[in-house]
Structure 1
Amino acid sequence: MKKKILASMVFLGMGLRVLPAHAAEAEACQMVRIGDVGWSDAAVTNGVAANLLAGLGYKTKTTMVTLAVAYLSLENHQLDVFLSDWEPSGASYIDPYLKRGKVERIVKNLAGARYTLAVPDYVAKQGLTQFKDIAGWASKLNSTIYGIESGNDGNKIVLDIIKANDFGLGKFHLNESSEQGMLSQVSRAVSAQKPIVFLAWEPHPMNMNFHLTYLSGGEKQFGASAEVNTIVTSGYVEKCPNVGHLLKQLTFTIPAENEMMKEVAETHAKPEKVAKDWLKAHPEAVEKWLDGVSTADGKPGLSAVKTYLDQ
């Protein structure tokens, strides 16, 4: 009988050992390095990720990079995570790294997005609704299309269109500045009711601040719609499975991103603060994202994050 009891105790002990609640994450995973390309949507999605990770006991470091440097930094293991892989526009930047196995796409974090050229509604009502219409407006547009920062994937597409003289735009010029610089140009044009063609995307507060028409006919270049993916350095999910599990579940919606970006734009609050307030107001999203996720030291993740958000 003693042998049976002892055997049962050993079996139960083994069961407890092979079925732990959670194991603590490796030391190398305690700091999560995130790439930020300076876009409004990146600011709030990175802010959400940073708050959740902080609540779980991780440290985060967000580094401003260009799109090209983001992937190079992932390849060189100088960054761990990049939440802003817009496709199909960004394919030319990321594809070489994917083919070499240096980075991995782990989840589509946003569906139903848009990224292409747009005009104010009053311009569309005058007849500029398609890519093929732009050339006929050359004099009114000063043969200029407004883009964002140099090296951006959308800028590259426009430059390729100009170089190939697609849609008769060979004599057009791309004005490269920044997201805020471009939007300032749009704001001035709208105030004066002047025509302007520019890079536009959704989610973004511009869709609430201006009445826009997205141009049709550029689907070959920009795609019929857009999606955003989460990218990690190769092998990261295997090395840091708990963070990887969180990242795979971290998906967003256009209304949620628009809401946070609009708050940042109107109040000039830090994106991390806006993201934290949004998380406090949407516990259902937090519960979904933290399902099966533990703290860095292996304790229940949801309760820890709730405590952090209430601080």
Structure 2
Amino acid sequence: MRKKLLLLTALLTILILAACGGNDDETTDEATEGESADKPILTFGVTPWTSTVPPTEIASIILQDMGYQVEQTQADAGNVYIGLSRGDLNIFMDAWLPVHEVYLDKYSENIESVAVSYDDANAGWVVPTYMEDINSIEDIKGKEDLFMNEMYSIEEGASAVGLIDEVIEDYELDITQVNSSEGAMIAQAMRKMQNEDPVIFYGWRPHTMFNKFDIKLLEEDRGFFNSASVEVIANSNLKEEAPEAYEFLQNWSIPIDDVEEMIIQIEEEEREPSEVAQEWIDNNQDKVNEMLGK
């Protein structure tokens, strides 16, 4: 009888300990779920530009590691800023200033620049280097027919489109801006360059075009295409709604050369953007820690 009582006591003890252990696990799971539930879903605006992808992917992974749920919404630049101003979008990693100042001014009550991602992002009119006599926009005057009176550009809605029209008007060029997606613009320029035909198109860094093609930015001395800084833009409520995310984004920065290298891996080597972004994080943990304030 005594042996049976001892055995029963031992079994009860094991069951109690197991129950306590299970409750601890459930408590931990509930706490983790509660922590995630307290954090808002953060939505990135993603323009159809290759330069937008690497920073967005890196920031998304880091924010997910911080416990945030992250979503991405594809849209042209104009609609990205509208979404930011309404609070439908929270973050945009690829704002080009001063070109995008028109949006910052228009929606100044609802959006803000949080950090500079990188400087010295040049943009402007581009021609192949085999066009030795065309080195500035002024050199095009009187030679527009060489280019079939066309200049290839990116999608309607991008602020650069209006700027290009201003250049055409200010330089009094008989040129029509032909708008399409970034990919279609590059494809058209490639077809021309394969035959060494004259072609003008819109170019910018960071982009693989400067690695793939022998091209040059045309000189422009009237202040239309100054060197840009690429900045992180957020909805004004982000600081209050997601203070940890806001602090991380305030510390955000990335070298332009790294962005271009990642674009090449994604576009040329056809690697998954998330894989390329995770590799950058793994290889730059010191920089990531700085952005996280560690």
Q: How does 1:36-115 map to 2 (within 5 A)?
A: 36-98=46-108, 101-115=109-123
SS at match of 2:199: coil
Aligned-partner Cα distance in 2 for 1:291–1:38: 31
Aligned-partner Cα distance in 2 for 1:205–1:140: 26
2:191 is matched with which residue? 188
- The answer on 1:166 being equivalent to 2:176 is no
Shift of 1:289: 2.0
Unaligned stretches of 5+ in structure 1? 1-23, 293-311
Aligned-partner Cα distance in 2 for 1:219–1:251: 30
Shift of 1:238: 2.9
Given residue 56 of structure 2, which amino acid in structure 1 is its aligned partner? N
Aligned-partner Cα distance in 2 for 1:80–1:29: 13
Aligned-partner Cα distance in 1 for 2:51–2:69: 22
Q: Greater CA deviation, 49-58 or 36-45?
A: 49-58
SS at match of 1:203: coil
**Bigger Cα Rg:** 2
- The answer on 1:198 being equivalent to 2:201 is yes
Shift of 1:141: 0.2
- The answer on 1:122 being equivalent to 2:125 is no
CA contact (8 A) 1:41 1:203 kept: yes
Distance 1:236 1:243, change over 3 A: same
Q: What's the TM-score, normalizing by structure 1?
A: 0.79
Aligned-partner Cα distance in 2 for 1:28–1:189: 54
Structure 1 runs of 4+ with >6 Å offset: none
Q: What's the TM-score, normalizing by structure 2?
A: 0.84
CA offset digits 1:86-145 (Å, max 9, x no partner): 0111222332112xx11111111111111111111111x2x1111111223211100111
1:137 is matched with which residue? 143
- The answer on 1:216 being equivalent to 2:222 is no
CA contact (8 A) 1:145 1:196 kept: yes
Aligned-partner Cα distance in 1 for 2:67–2:247: 15
Which structure's relative contact order is higher, taking Cα pairs within 8 Å and 6+ residues apart? 1
CA offset digits 1:170-190 (Å, max 9, x no partner): x31111011111111222222
Count of aligned pairs between the two proteins: 261
CA contact (8 A) 1:25 1:240 kept: no
Shift of 1:264: 0.5
Given residue 274 of structure 1, which amino acid in structure 2 is its aligned partner? V
SS at match of 1:221: coil
CA contact (8 A) 1:74 1:232 kept: yes
* Identical counterparts, % of pairs: 25
Aligned-partner Cα distance in 1 for 2:188–2:82: 32
Shift of 1:148: 0.8
